[in-house]
Amino acid sequence: MTTTVEAQDGATVLTVSGEVDLATAPALENTIEAILSSKPGVLIIDLNAVSFLASAGMATLVAAHQRAGEATTIAVVADGPATSRQLKMTSLDQVFALHSTLAEALASLR
């Protein structure tokens, strides 16, 4: 798993690629924790390049949402069978905003 962080249109965008499983979820959690410590107004987590999203990865997303509280709005970008399907099946699309593309997520902030 690899991650990159960049500022884009007033949001902090965390792009994740590879597999998010029991072995890699702690690294993702650490990255999200570091981002949230700076209290960004918006954090978009882009999972479109994720090839496998295990329950540990989904738990990391829920923990990030809880940690962000009112200070940071979190949106998730997921449009593949490895990501959006699991998020919808577990009703996590009701926990945070789920978008098909980064452009759609950024547009929803305007």
Contact 55, 62 (CB under 8 A): no
pLDDT score at 110: 75
Output the domain CATH number for residue 13.
3.30.750.24
Each residue's pLDDT tens digit, 56-69: 999 999 999 999 99
Q: Can you give the residue range of the structural domain that contains 87?
A: 2-108
Each residue's pLDDT tens digit, 42-97: 999 999 999 999 999 999 999 999 999 999 999 999 998 899 999 999 999 999 99
Query: What's the domain count of the chain?
Result: 1
73 vs 91: CA distance, rounded Å:
18
At 101 the three-state DSSP class reads: coil
* Bridging pattern class, strands 11-20 and 2-8: antiparallel
25 vs 9: CA distance, rounded Å:
27
